[in-house]
A and B are shown apart, each in its own frame.
Chain A
């Protein structure tokens, strides 16, 4: 240590146990790079994709079922081949990935907002409120998430009139997945809230007469966010998988605006006939994305957990 020399900005940024842990964990760095690259590529799909797969005027049926460019019969403009309708696979995957990530993020945000709110209330108010909220969470945790998502999704579709189903399918899926993963957030937040609520700074805030909601929002919430962040990262990977599962089962995003799961389902029909690339590449994209996000989540859990340090 050289206490006399002022630290540069970079040094100040890296002089932090989390960043230190990150820079010393190659797995986390690779995962982070992969995640960032995929997310950037997908969000910028309209800019970097060679074709717009949702513009029917750009699709030519005669180019349907072409293999990847490096195989016999492949064409250079279709790097990963084309699907049965002549859509460029690479573009379709980028657009599909964008949809999958968007649905995943939105679902996690919904679950997080719901779970954290209920967890805070549960931990701070206690008593009957706590018991009711936590028992609901317990019951929900005993039901496999995907089943619950299918149920919520099914109800959502049944309620909507036929004409609106396609348009609102994305929102229904987001709500279905979001409503499935709130108990995780609620439990963690409640645990942290219970700990924080008895600390002196909270008692002090209470004594000077701050209203309960302000204490929760200003003082307790910021101190519970670390574990929530970990769960949210792993939750993102799970939500993307959940969306893909729903779509694969034909319950999720409609084929007119396919997500990765829908692409895998549509491609699955062609596996028997040897057109493997229609399902293979979306599947690989999904696996890599989920794996990277998961690794990142794992690292974050270790880094943020004082007991493991």
Chain B
């Protein structure tokens, strides 16, 4: 009797454990964690990608970055807005139905002062409920690219948000902690099982997902473990501890490709890396000179000429980058080969320009740089320090984790900083409104050109594609001449993937588990 009982218990334990064996578990890593699980708090690549596994937007992009219906089944343009027909029968992870009122709520939340998506969301003036499954997103005049602007505005449940007191986004800059920071309730293919920031985030397949059966993905459980050290990350892939590394260091790609059962996928990424120079303040915070040298266009040109983009490409990036002269990559409407041409490298001319501007002996300035965000970010900054030293500019490098770096930029506390910018809408408006408009929330350069501001506004309503493209080009010409930024290169993406799993690579560096197939 006693023995039987024991047997029954151990059998029960076995059956409880066995589904875990049959499950398709995908373990993956990259250098940094999502900053928050609040879908409207931080507009940052890894955060969007992580939240995009749990939350969904009305319209999304597939692995080839083509627009696809997600929570909306279809949409129709009108003169003063777009009508979206919502998918029926969609449920949040807690069982609540997804309806039009959640759309209204989510847009209001995304437009809140603390939201990092307000630039995208403010294209939607208001949301009109036509019935439970039809909404009209009212725009300020015609908007030709509205669906493009909605792909990372995720839908939240109104009831859940109210019950948990998270009807407004987390104020990330003020380090606010809310329920939504560590908990999530979306409609997506995966639900959040556990979350330990910077350690381990576990997601489980949502069996009630609307897309169940329509996508090739067969992953049951996702374990995400950020590993800061690049060599450790590669070692984890080589040893089989993880199946997928999003950001293997470029110098190790050959090693990964040569290993049994591992492969590398590469694609030109929709992300440009550049330095910003604050020309807005009257006196630089970190400089030994009075006044602000960056106010002088010659100084900004000297910085552009002093950076040897080709050397960075060959030595730091192992050839995996495209040196550039603009801050947005090919594939985005507005990028042209002429504009994309690099400013070139001419240290002698750079030195002469500095002297002309009144700084024959250069000046000192601090370069703020992230050390866990972009491919070889800190090493690019180190290389730039050496290159600027050759024209007499004494640069002090402060390389810190992105969680401390980005608030510095957003609070306008940096004189000279590195930033990378991806463009989910694949349209220049996204770049103008964040980085070049005088009120852009990530424009810490103080760059303000009334014409660029005017164009940023005008292209939100211009439906004539030719006219619109001409305006975009005009704005880029101005930026090219006035050089508020020092463009470095467009990133090339490389993912290290085990042969056990097939993951299509996307140019926006987002992992889309709904397409990942375990063999």
Contacts and interface: CB of A to CB of B under 8 A. Distances in A.
Contacts of B38: none
Interface string A78-107: 000000111000000000000000000000
A55 B389 contact: yes
Interface string A37-65: 00000000000000000011101111011
Given A57-B389, A61-B316, A272 B311 contact: no
A56 B395 contact: yes
A60 B252 CA distance: 23
Contacts, number: 62
B397 A162 contact: no
A61 B308 contact: yes
B386 A86 contact: yes
Interface residues of A, number: 23
Given A61-B315, A61-B316, A62-B311, A56 B251 contact: no
B231 interface: yes
B379 interface: yes
Contacts of B249: 269
B254 interface: yes
A85 B234 CA distance: 21
A85 B230 contact: no
Contacts of B316: 61, 64, 84
A117 interface: no
B251 A61 contact: no
Contacts of B308: 61-62
Contact of A61 (B231, B252, B387): B387
A56 B389 CA distance: 6
Contacts of A275: 251
B382 interface: yes
B386 A57 contact: yes
Interface residues on B, range: 20 to 34
Contacts of B379: 84-85
Contact of A85 (B229, B251, B383): B383
Interface string B389-423: 11000010110100010000000000000000000
Chain A facing B: main interface SS: loop
B265 interface: no
Nearest to A63: B315
Nearest to B248: A272
A271 interface: yes
B387 to A, nearest CB: 7
Interface in A251-274: 256, 268-273
A52 B311 CA distance: 21
Nearest to B311: A61
Contacts of A271: 231
Contacts of A57: 386, 389-390
B311 A56 contact: no
A160 to B, nearest CB: 14
Contact of B254 (A60, A86, A273): A273
Contacts of A162: 400, 404
B386 A59 contact: yes
A109 B299 CA distance: 48
Interface of B: 229-231, 234-235, 249, 251-252, 254-255, 308, 311-312, 314-316, 379, 382-383, 385-390, 395, 397-398, 400, 404
Interface of A: 55-57, 59-62, 64-65, 84-86, 162-163, 166, 256, 268-273, 275
19 contacts: A56-B389, A56-B390, A57-B389, A57-B390, A59-B386, A61-B308, A61-B383, A62-B315, A64-B316, A65-B315, A84-B316, A84-B379, A86-B315, A272-B234, A272-B251, A273-B251, A273-B252, A273-B255, A275-B251
